[in-house]
Amino acid sequence: MAIRGTASLYDASTDCRANISVCDGGHSVHAGFNTLFETLKSELAPLLSSLKPHATVHCVGHSLGGAVASLVADWAKRRFDVNVKLYTFGAPKVGLTNFALSTTNALEPKNIFRCVNGGDIVPIVPFWPFMQAPYNAPEYKMDNNQIIAPWHHLMKYYTRNSQKQSWDSINKRVTFNPFKRVTLDIAHATQVQPSIYWMNRLSEALMTVLRQAKLGALNALQSGTANGLGLYDKIAMILANNNFHTVDLTGPINGLLACMLAFAGYARTKIKELSAEFIKWVFEKTLQMVNRIAQKALSAVD
């Protein structure tokens, strides 16, 4: 099953709309991707039902197609008596931890081939708390580029990088480790660049700070329980409220915000107070920068 990728401005806007909905398996996923997947289910179900028991289904997609292929693969494995292999190229992250773990456990890492060009930003979005499958397992790194290059999202670059390579010869690497302890300080801000490396480090540093905050804060954020508040409203409130912290997090929070500001192009902005309003503003500017770069990549495909 080959699922086409981004092919219109509507699809491009769907790629970056990171609201959360519940997928067929009961897990939290990107609402835009899930909506597209739901339109395909009625057409795919008869085909999957007609297959012989234990037939192998190959789900393949590039860009948005890879995100939808991930949802198809997870659903097909759970609902039908088939073996499933998933191949994605430049696919964005589809869901939160519960979905990434479900797909990884259902298909097993050996059957998930997540291919990423080094300069392609699309596989890094949406920003945390979205996670990729296979969860905390190696991706297939098609090249070693660390500088963001929007045109590297094009399928022709994936085709070029895959020529004369086998699955065994392609470099496999875990580029984002949700359990890695990363603590940033203000001095690190001078090193920050709009790169794949720093996008991953900012996410890991954010998760480190939240793990150091009040027990259960990280799980509560990922579960979507919010009393009507948005995700980054909640994060800002937790970081700004010392009553949530089991240790003094002033230094790590200042360092994280300084590095986010540098990434977003606001390196000269001074951190005067750790209010929820200011922290949310920093997140907004960081996400705006991420989405601007991602849109360049998606528009190159259009």
Q: Which residues, in sequence order, are bridge partners of residue 3?
A: 61
Q: Could you tell me which of 125, 133, 72, 123 has the C-alpha nearest to residue 97?
A: 133
Determine the average pLDDT of the residues in 204-213: 87
Task: Decide: 107 and 140 in contact? Cβ < 8 Å.
Answer: no
Structure tokens at 291: 């989405």
Determine the average pLDDT of the residues in 119-128: 83
Stated pTM of the model: 0.82
pLDDT tier at 85 (50, 70, 90 boundaries)? Answer: very high
Determine the average pLDDT of the residues in 220-233: 58
Task: Decide: 126 and 287 in contact? Cβ < 8 Å.
Answer: no
Cβ-based neighbours of 156, under 8 Å, separated by 6 or more? none
Angle between helices 31-49 and 9-16 (to 10 degrees): 110
Query: What does the mean pLDDT of the chain come to?
Result: 85
Q: Could you tell me which of 258, 253, 259, 221 has the C-alpha nearest to residue 239?
A: 253
